[in-house]
Amino acid sequence: MDLYISFFIIIASIFLVPLILKRFNIPGITAIMLAGMVIGPYGLGIVNMDESLKTISVFGAIFLMFLGGMEVDNETLLKGFKKSLFISLFSAVVCGIGGYYIGNFLGLSHMGSLLYGALFASNSVGIVYALLNELDMTKSKFGTVLLGAVVISELIGLILLAIFSKVNLSQGFGGSILFIMEVILYIVGLLLIVPFIAKAMFKRCEKLHFRKIHFILLIILISILIGEYVGLHPMIGAFITGVAVSEALTKEEHDNLLNDNLNAIGYGFFIPIFFLTLGMNTDVRMLINLSNLEVLIVTLGSLMILKTISGYISFKLVGYDKLKSLYGGLLTIPQVSAPLVVVSIGRDLGILPYKFSVTVIVLILITSIVAPILIRHVINKYDSVNRA
């Protein structure tokens, strides 16, 4: 009976809380994490973490990264590639170096500071794509360049995080060259082999959509198992697999499979539970401690400033006006996928103290609320930004 009551509370929270908080312009993902904080062990204690919930949560994280990979469109990436590459590299270098020194300032170890740098350097494709789509700018020249830059930045960030998932404090970077070669071989192998197999399987299962889903789940698990053997974090393997599967589909097949099937499975069940458990595992009372609050304020303030300034300068340097450059800088603020990997890797390697893990989760909450509000404010004030 307790199991059914717990799941009733979980599903009710996932369904009702986003509907209520939508009236205050709070994104659904953020609302679910807030619900988790309330019902979890650090809140009212109504629902406790058990093995079944942990398993669903892990698969939710994997599915989230897989769907993020499927959003990567190579055609989009190739349009305005030079501009996108410059923007992503400029922003990654500025924010990465800034993040490293911020981590150092806050007392993290050398490896912990490098992990912080990777967090600052990366972006989140899913939330940026959703914002561009909401603003009807995904097909504009500006939107194409921005999305391409975000995709490249996320790939850079995830590859850097992959290296940290392998290299621990005692080993340093001695064996990292071999690991990087293994990672490159793994990524290239997935991008070459998976589309070939997927095309053949999708052709055989043309009218049986549920078989396509079975195949996708199987290929995700196989890729993750191979990735874990190599030493890659499962969430990174899932992202690369998503990119590879996307390559096997036509635009129509991609949209049908993604919108009608995969999004329904992922965002209908697994992914919301993942975000709910993130909230459940977050003890915001730790931030009452002044030193912990300092970590949050410094991290959040630095990330928002570095992202906005580096984005603004890089867009200006490739020829955009002040308004679009500001808009481009603001759009790189939201953080979802990379921080989740940072928390997971930092916890696994023991290089990110708990107060930093809490800070990163709160960072996701705040950036996913503040950035959309700032962007909408700019849009409302300067309507001309919609003209690409």
Q: Contact, 118 vs 165, CB < 8 A? A: no
Domain 2-386 = CATH 1.20.1530.20: yes
Per-residue pLDDT tens digits for 277-320: 888 887 777 767 666 788 888 999 999 999 999 999 999 999 88
Cα 343 from chain centroid (whole Å): 12
pLDDT band at 382 (very low <50, low <70, confident <90, very high): low
- Residue with the larger pLDDT of the pair 351 and 11: 11
**Helix/strand/coil (H, E, C) string of 6-61?**
HHHHHHHHHHHHHHHHHHHCCCHHHHHHHHHHHHCCCCCCCCCCCHHHHHHHHHHH
Instruction: Note the pLDDT of residue 112.
Output: 84
Helix axes 354-381, 125-134, angle to 10 degrees: 20
Task: Decide which of 287 and 118 is more confident.
Answer: 118
Q: pLDDT tier at 32 (50, 70, 90 boundaries)? A: confident
Please give the pLDDT value at position 132.
73
The predicted-structure confidence for 184-215, as pLDDT tens digits, reads as follows 888 888 888 888 888 887 777 666 667 778 88
* Cβ contacts of 264 within 8 Å, gap of 6 or more: none
Tell me how far apart the alpha carbons of residues 339 and 359 are, in angstroms, rounded to a whole number. Answer: 10
pLDDT value of residue 171? 52
Average pLDDT over residues 73-90: 80
The whole-number pLDDT of residue 301 equals 92
Using the structure block, give the residue that is written with the tokens 């909408």.
Answer: 376
pLDDT at 255: 67
CA dihedral 191, 342, 177, 152 (to 10 degrees): 40
Task: Tell me how long the chain is.
Answer: 388
Candidates 353, 370, 362; CA nearest to 293 is 362
pLDDT band at 261 (very low <50, low <70, confident <90, very high): confident
pLDDT at residue 169, rounded to an integer: 43
361 touches 354 (CB < 8 A): no
Most confident of the following: 74-78, 100-104, 337-341: 100-104
Q: Half-sphere exposure of 22 toward its Cβ, with a 13 Å CA cutoff? A: 8
In degrees, rounded to 5, the angle at the alpha carbon of residue 77 between the alpha carbons of residues 225 and 375 is 100
Closest CA to 306 of 125, 174, 155, 121: 121
pLDDT at 175: 57
Task: Report residue 73's pLDDT band, with 50, 70 and 90 as the boundaries.
Answer: low
Query: What is the per-residue burial (b if ≥16 Cβ within 10 Å, else e) of 20-34?
Result: ebeeeebbbbbbbbb
Map out the domains of the chain as residue ranges.
Answer: 2-386
The predicted-structure confidence for 341-358, as pLDDT tens digits, reads as follows: 777 777 777 777 877 877
Cα–Cα dist 277/275, whole Å: 5
- Confidence category of residue 252, pLDDT binned at 50, 70, 90: low
Average pLDDT, the chain: 80
Residues 6+ apart with CB under 8 A from 215: 198, 201, 202, 205
Helix (H) / strand (E) containing 314: helix 290-317
Name the pLDDT band for 385 (thresholds 50, 70, 90).
very low
Confidence of residue 170 (pLDDT cuts 50, 70, 90): very low
Q: What is the pLDDT of residue 14?
A: 92
